[in-house]
A = this chain, B = another copy of it.
Amino acid sequence: MVAADQESFFATAPPLGDAVAVAAKLQEFIARNSSRSHPSGKRALPRTTRPRCGTHATRAGLSFHRTPEGLANPRASLSCDVRAEGGGRRRIVCVTSGGTTVPLEQRCVRYIDNFSSGHRGAASTEYFLKAGYAVIFIHRRGSCQPFCRFLPDDSFLNFFDITTESKVQVVESHTTVVKKAIGEYSKAIEGGSLLKLPFTTIFEYLQLLKMVATSMSSVGLHGMFYLAAAVSDFYVPWDSMAKHKIQSAGGPLDMKLSQVPKMLSVLRNQWAPLAFCVSFKLETDSEILIQKAEMALNKYKMNVVVANLLATYKEEVVVVSNGERNTIRRCSKDEDLEEHIIMLLEKSHSKYICSSADACSKNGYEKVIPLGIESLA
């Protein structure tokens, strides 16, 4: 059923305009980066190994409690030597970011959009790069970009001054932040560690994701998917879509939307079966959030689901894995929640590689079953 749905989705979707060029860039990026070695564990971790903001761990069903020392500094508790492993093959993460649109007309004037600034994906990309990952950043056109998060929405010109010699310069108060951003951005671009691929519609997004995932299957356990994009659940199949702008003179509009085929299970089972997979769950109702996150974890065999509420997504997330919940809460507005999410995920990914590689050497590579994170406590 799922397979038939997804086949029909791709068969009827308008093809990507620049598929050949994108595929070539992608192959080159993956080949180049996967032949490098991963920075050592010491460098890969952000400077502060102890999270500054509140991190709480709990087993599913129990009330939240402060984490034991082992989790606050998770490296201490890892059973195999992840630090040594850190020097192995370079890891690649595919970060998806921003909302997908669903066109309502083929010559599109109206579309359904999903709330997402792309801030989480952009910030996470910065921290993945710092942790030594190569990043494929699949992002919504016009959404928030890595190293540009400080950019104000509508007062770009406030960044500039004209000097007495009538030269353009950056306003003094913004110099530090701009200088830091340029330095880090240039390093990522010149070092060839960041590949940016833009999308707008659900059709473009899923075709890009499929292309990246099948290309990344060669990286095996060293690949990660960090699916922070807000992906449409409902859409109008291309072949049943109105060609022209829907006219309003015809009275109220009755719109029938189909479900977008759930691609997470296809990603897990077919496209990149060995990758470490992290998906996101955004809800508005706190009553159903954790339950929905655990459902996604089991149904789509994700390694981690990051659960967040629309009202508090900037302040708090719950990182849900097999039998484990870690709440990460921001203590001040100057902190990036993403720094702590990535810190936790990097360790979990290390452990996943280590455990799966152990299983590999015992059972043969082909039989490896993707694992969830076990308790780090």
Where the two chains meet, the residues of A that have a C-beta atom closer than 8 Å to any C-beta of B are: 101, 104-105, 107-115, 141-142, 145, 147-148, 151, 153-154, 156-157, 160-162, 166-170, 175, 178-179, 181-183, 185-186, 196, 198, 230, 232-234, 243-246, 248, 251-260, 282-285, 310-311
> How far does the alpha carbon of A252 sit from the alpha carbon of B285 in the complex, in Å?
21
Cβ B109 vs Cβ A282 within 8 A:
yes
Give 20 A-B pairs besides A112-B113, A243-B284 with Cβ atoms closer than 8 angstroms. Answer: A104-B112, A108-B115, A109-B114, A109-B115, A110-B114, A111-B113, A157-B182, A160-B170, A160-B178, A162-B183, A167-B175, A168-B169, A168-B170, A168-B178, A234-B252, A245-B285, A252-B258, A253-B255, A254-B254, A254-B257
> How far does the alpha carbon of A97 sit from the alpha carbon of B360 in the complex, in Å?
58
> How far does the alpha carbon of A161 sit from the alpha carbon of B183 in the complex, in Å?
10
Q: How many copies of the shown chain assemble into the complex?
A: 2
> How far does the alpha carbon of A175 sit from the alpha carbon of B255 in the complex, in Å?
49
Determine how close the nearest CB of chain B comes to the CB of A225; give it in whole angstroms: 20
Contact of A110 among B113, B153, B255, B259 (CB under 8 A): B113
Contact of A230 among B109, B115, B282 (CB under 8 A): B109
Given contacts A154-B145, A283-B245, contact A111 B115 (CB under 8 A): yes
> How far does the alpha carbon of A204 sit from the alpha carbon of B253 in the complex, in Å?
22
> How far does the alpha carbon of A145 sit from the alpha carbon of B156 in the complex, in Å?
9
Contacts of A186 in B (CB 8 A): 157
Contacts of A161 in B (CB 8 A): 182
A109, A196, A251, most chain B CB atoms within 10 A: A109
Given contacts A141-B154, A156-B151, A168-B169, contact A253 B248 (CB under 8 A): no
Determine how close the nearest CB of chain B comes to the CB of A232; give it in whole angstroms: 8
19 contacts between A and B (CB under 8 A): A107-B311, A109-B114, A109-B115, A109-B282, A110-B113, A110-B114, A112-B113, A151-B156, A157-B186, A162-B182, A168-B178, A168-B179, A168-B182, A169-B169, A233-B246, A243-B284, A244-B285, A252-B257, A253-B256
> How far does the alpha carbon of A156 sit from the alpha carbon of B166 in the complex, in Å?
22
> How far does the alpha carbon of A286 sit from the alpha carbon of B142 in the complex, in Å?
29
Determine how close the nearest CB of chain B comes to the CB of A19; give it in whole angstroms: 20
Contacts of A232 in B (CB 8 A): 110
> How far does the alpha carbon of A246 sit from the alpha carbon of B257 in the complex, in Å?
12
Cβ B185 vs Cβ A157 within 8 A:
yes
Contacts of A110 in B (CB 8 A): 112-115, 232
> How far does the alpha carbon of A310 sit from the alpha carbon of B109 in the complex, in Å?
8
Determine how close the nearest CB of chain B comes to the CB of A129; give it in whole angstroms: 14
Contacts of A284 in B (CB 8 A): 105, 107, 109, 243-245
